[in-house]
A and B are shown apart, each in its own frame.
Chain A
Amino acid sequence: MSMAAAAVAMAAAPAAAAKATNTFLFSQKTHSPLTPNLRFATRASFPKYPYFSRSAPDPLLLSTAPRSTTTPSSPSPTTYHGPCYVLGDNIDTDQIIPAEHLTLVPSKPDEYRKLGSFALSGLPSTAYPVPFIPPGSDATHFPVVIAGANFGCGSSREHAPVALGASGVRAVVAEYYARIFFRNSVATGEIYPLESEETGIWKECTTGDIVTVDLAESRLINHTTGKVYRLKPIGDAGPVIEAGGIFAYARKTGMIASASTA
């Protein structure tokens, strides 16, 4: 089971997916990386709800691709795969979620989804001609965002990582983050804020490149260019995000009692 063969199987998937509208490129867990039996989910059936801890396994997310060491009952996703959206340096929170949308309250489910539909709508279209969210849709086709330095700078608005997560982003790979954005990403468990070891990888990637983010191995594979980038391990933040944010994690580890009567 070579990596190249798996990569080919993966690469074939997006072409098929592109024909369907509003599909995601998350693959079904497989035992054999060469099987072409990949199922594509539409946004509506995507089982991620923001405000319940994600303790149930997510069957639509591929666990490991080439290594096939995952058992069917493996609970947590360790890779994310699909086309990437590429941004530069200093992408601030006003570009991630323009202030006019901050009247939406993220803890309300229908407003949470609406927030997702406005993710990255603040980007100037001259610099970023490919829309992050296709017009008429409320979700993105890009589960991975690749960015430069100081991602998420500006406001403390938690709406920023929430909008990205609500739109369907699973992981951001940036050079480094503004602190409040990083903190909010971990606290909400909405996205994995990963950091690349090298700088400037965004310059070597193009929006639409097919990538895999491998959390366990801490690396980003760009299948389109063939390059592999080392990521800094997510460390202690990983279990918190995996549990679904600080509250879920705090309860899971016994730090706080479940919904208390305080």
Chain B
Amino acid sequence: MASPIMAPTSSIFGEKMESGLISRFSPSISAHRCRKQALNRVLAVMAPAQPQRSPATTGSVKHAMTMTEKILARASERPQLAPGENVWVNVDVLMTHDICGPGTIGIFKREFGQNAKVWDREKIVIIPDHYIFTSDERANRNVDILRDFYMEQNIKYYYDIKDLGNFRANPDYKGVCHIALAQEGHCRPSEVLLGTDSHTCNAGAFGQFATGIGNTDAGFVMGTGKILLKIPPTMRFILDGEMPKYLLAKDLILQIIGEITVSGATYKSMEFVGSTVESLNMEERMTLCNMVIEAGGKNGVVPVDKTTLKYLEDKTTLTFEPVYSDDCARFIQEYKFDVSKLEPLVAKPHSPGNRALARECKDVKIDRVYIGSCTGGKTEDFLAAAKVFLASGKKVKVPTFLVPATQKVWMDIYGLPVPGSGGKTCSQIFEEAGCEVPASPSCAACMGGPLDTYARINERQVCVSTTNRNFPGRMGHKEGQIYLASPYTAAASALTGYVTDPREFLL
């Protein structure tokens, strides 16, 4: 297909930068870049950058920095930073869950002592969500380990579950960690959020630095509240144009990953800007940032605006100060997309980068559809799927599994009216379409899980899924074929029994 992107604008300096070192540009080159960038963005003309003056004489002259660099500079108490530097960073929130929490706790106790106390009982958020509704004894034991630790340390935020038979009987239980973090107000602009889960980058939608770490790093943070990080260079993705009504943020990120490959953003930050991004609601922005890791990215960021502030209004009383990339900040690469020209996509087995047009896969017969996970199981995702079922009025041709990410999402499915439906809720529309009953909120089959996990692929089947990865065995069976897609595409595919472009129903 004709690619609607332009060539990277910084290709002149591309090679130099890709070696991993950002050289100090002479003022004339940096001025030239500023003018280039100004022209590309058709904004006000900017004055050439001034040569660097020593801080002693001015007190506040800084090099231009990107959003990520600014956030990490603030967190490491340094006036400025450049990509490639290794710095100790103060952590604002550490999140862990049931499959990595016990390991992290084990390391914390081993290294800091059995009676050690965590660095800050209010900055650790423990969210059981991965292997919850299962009879697997070790999985259940892992939740017990989390509970013991929460009690011993008096952790402020622990979203417990005890009654596995009825999730609603657990008032504290939330569900999928990344969505719970957002819904509970733990994601705040300009903060540093680390989690023992690769999709922690989801929170970058809030204009913060959020990334995944392993148990050992997390154990270290648990005791010290600090982590050693290498400052990543930033890749900028400018998404402009009116979002077509058959496209969702999932299509945008699949487009990007297909473009730069699954390692295209390794060790880099991905910044998403442009009029399209500004038009997205918070949940769509989360979907965008969620899959940054599938391109190898260290973190993703979306600048804070009215939409962010509105979402945060009723969720947190903590203060924050958004930061923005300087106009003359250096980006290692820039990509531009005219979103109005994009089409619904899928990622074919077995890689999130194996991009294809949904309409070109219409002969792929499928066995099931899965709508869930942090990537595609939020309220907006279910509203989107409901829209397609509503437009069709028909029943699904294959088992369609619905797994709301959190208790709140589950309640929205049963409570929120779907626009244009005459007051019907998502749940009613799903029932009329013959979908499975919405399941207990958790990660469920997104990553397979214990053998009795809801909707796990246990046979050689083809599945269209709103989740984030489709490597061999990802959802269970090693030979399962997973097509990653947006909720629109997933719903459309459920209705036909084949991979289907949602324009079949939405135009």
Q: How far is the CB of A10 from chain B (nearest CB, A)?
A: 34
Asked whether, in the complex, the Cβ of B214 is within 8 Å of the Cβ of A176, the reply is: no
Among the stretches A16-24, A91-99, A214-222, the one at the interface with B is A91-99
Q: A106-B103, A124-B479 are in contact. Are A90 and B262 (CB under 8 A)?
A: yes
Q: Is B138 an interface residue when CB atoms closer than 8 A count as contact?
A: yes
- Per-residue CB proximity of A153-179 to B under 8 Å, as 1/0? 111111100000000000000001011
Closest to B213 in A: A156
Asked whether, in the complex, the Cβ of A156 is within 8 Å of the Cβ of B198, the reply is: yes
> Quick one: which of A99, A150, A153, A262 contacts B223, CB cutoff 8 A?
A262
Asked whether, in the complex, the Cβ of B224 is within 8 Å of the Cβ of A179, the reply is: no
Asked whether, in the complex, the Cβ of B263 is within 8 Å of the Cβ of A176, the reply is: yes
Give the number of residues in A that approach B within 8 Å (Cβ atoms).
43
Q: Is B83 an interface residue when CB atoms closer than 8 A count as contact?
A: no
17 additional A-B residue pairs with CB within 8 Å, beyond A105-B102, A123-B472: A92-B469, A94-B448, A100-B448, A100-B451, A103-B131, A105-B145, A107-B106, A107-B215, A122-B478, A149-B263, A154-B198, A156-B293, A178-B263, A187-B216, A245-B216, A247-B111, A262-B223
Interface size class of B (residues with CB under 8 A): 35 or more
Asked whether, in the complex, the Cβ of B472 is within 8 Å of the Cβ of A95, the reply is: yes
Among the stretches A66-74, A192-200, A253-261, the one at the interface with B is A253-261
Asked whether, in the complex, the Cβ of B473 is within 8 Å of the Cβ of A94, the reply is: yes
> Quick one: which of A122, A158, A260 contacts B214, CB cutoff 8 A?
A158
Chain A residues near B216 (CB, 8 Å)?
Answer: 158, 184, 187-188, 245-247
Q: How far is the CB of A25 from chain B (nearest CB, A)?
A: 29
Q: Is B116 an interface residue when CB atoms closer than 8 A count as contact?
A: yes
Tell me the residues in window 85-141 of chain B with beta carbons closer than 8 Å to chain A beta carbons: 99-100, 102-103, 105-107, 110-113, 115-117, 119, 130-131, 136, 138-139
Asked whether, in the complex, the Cβ of A188 is within 8 Å of the Cβ of B214, the reply is: yes
Chain B residues near A104 (CB, 8 Å)?
Answer: 138
> Quick one: which of B107, B449, B479 contacts A99, CB cutoff 8 A?
B449
> Quick one: which of A99, A150, A156, A259 contacts B447, CB cutoff 8 A?
A99
Number of cross-chain contacts by CB at 8 Å: 154
Closest to B197 in A: A156
Asked whether, in the complex, the Cβ of A183 is within 8 Å of the Cβ of B472, the reply is: no
Asked whether, in the complex, the Cβ of B473 is within 8 Å of the Cβ of A98, the reply is: yes
Chain A residues near B200 (CB, 8 Å)?
Answer: 156
Q: Is A51 an interface residue when CB atoms closer than 8 A count as contact?
A: yes
Majority-rule SS of B interface residues = loop
Q: Is B220 an interface residue when CB atoms closer than 8 A count as contact?
A: yes
Q: A100-B451, A158-B103 are in contact. Are A180 and B117 (CB under 8 A)?
A: no
> Quick one: which of B138, B447, B473 contacts A95, CB cutoff 8 A?
B473
Q: Once the chains are docked, how many angstroms separate the CA of A209 from the CA of B471?
A: 28
Asked whether, in the complex, the Cβ of A260 is within 8 Å of the Cβ of B198, the reply is: no
Closest to A126 in B: B479
Q: How far is the CB of B222 from chain A (nearest CB, A)?
A: 11
Q: Once the chains are docked, how many angstroms separate the CA of A158 from the CA of B196?
A: 9
6 closest Cβ pairs, A-B complex: A107-B106, A158-B214, A156-B212, A184-B214, A103-B138, A187-B216
Closest to A259 in B: B113
Chain A residues near B471 (CB, 8 Å)?
Answer: 92, 94-95, 154
Closest to B261 in A: A150
Chain B residues near A261 (CB, 8 Å)?
Answer: 113, 115-116
Q: Once the chains are docked, how many angstroms separate the CA of A101 from the CA of B505?
A: 41
Chain A residues near B296 (CB, 8 Å)?
Answer: 150, 153, 178-179
- Per-residue CB proximity of A9-36 to B under 8 Å, as 1/0? 0000000000000000000000000000
Asked whether, in the complex, the Cβ of A102 is within 8 Å of the Cβ of B99, the reply is: yes
Closest to A123 in B: B472
Chain A residues near B116 (CB, 8 Å)?
Answer: 259-262
Q: Is A227 an interface residue when CB atoms closer than 8 A count as contact?
A: no
Q: Once the chains are docked, how many angstroms separate the CA of A107 from the CA of B223?
A: 16
> Quick one: which of B130, B212, B450, B473 contacts A180, CB cutoff 8 A?
B212
> Quick one: which of A124, A150, A176 contacts B478, CB cutoff 8 A?
A124
Chain B residues near A153 (CB, 8 Å)?
Answer: 262-263, 296
Asked whether, in the complex, the Cβ of A247 is within 8 Å of the Cβ of B131, the reply is: no
Q: Is A203 an interface residue when CB atoms closer than 8 A count as contact?
A: no
Q: How far is the CB of B84 from chain A (nearest CB, A)?
A: 13
Q: Is B188 an interface residue when CB atoms closer than 8 A count as contact?
A: no
Q: Once the chains are docked, how many angstroms separate the CA of A83 from the CA of B258?
A: 36
Chain B residues near A230 (CB, 8 Å)?
Answer: none
Q: Is B142 an interface residue when CB atoms closer than 8 A count as contact?
A: yes
Q: Once the chains are docked, how many angstroms separate the CA of A260 from the CA of B224?
A: 11
Q: How far is the CB of B305 from chain A (nearest CB, A)?
A: 29
Q: A103-B142, A187-B217, A247-B111 are in contact. Are A156 and B196 (CB under 8 A)?
A: yes
> Quick one: which of B106, B136, B213 contacts A183, CB cutoff 8 A?
B213
Chain A residues near B451 (CB, 8 Å)?
Answer: 100
Asked whether, in the complex, the Cβ of B103 is within 8 Å of the Cβ of A260, the reply is: no
Asked whether, in the complex, the Cβ of A183 is within 8 Å of the Cβ of B214, the reply is: yes
Chain B residues near A262 (CB, 8 Å)?
Answer: 112-113, 116-117, 119, 223
Q: Once the chains are docked, how many angstroms separate the CA of A92 from the CA of B263?
A: 12
Q: Is B351 an interface residue when CB atoms closer than 8 A count as contact?
A: yes
Asked whether, in the complex, the Cβ of A158 is within 8 Å of the Cβ of B100, the reply is: yes
Q: Once the chains are docked, how many angstroms separate the CA of A159 from the CA of B130?
A: 15
Q: Is B474 an interface residue when CB atoms closer than 8 A count as contact?
A: yes
Q: How far is the CB of B372 from chain A (nearest CB, A)?
A: 15
Chain B residues near A159 (CB, 8 Å)?
Answer: 103
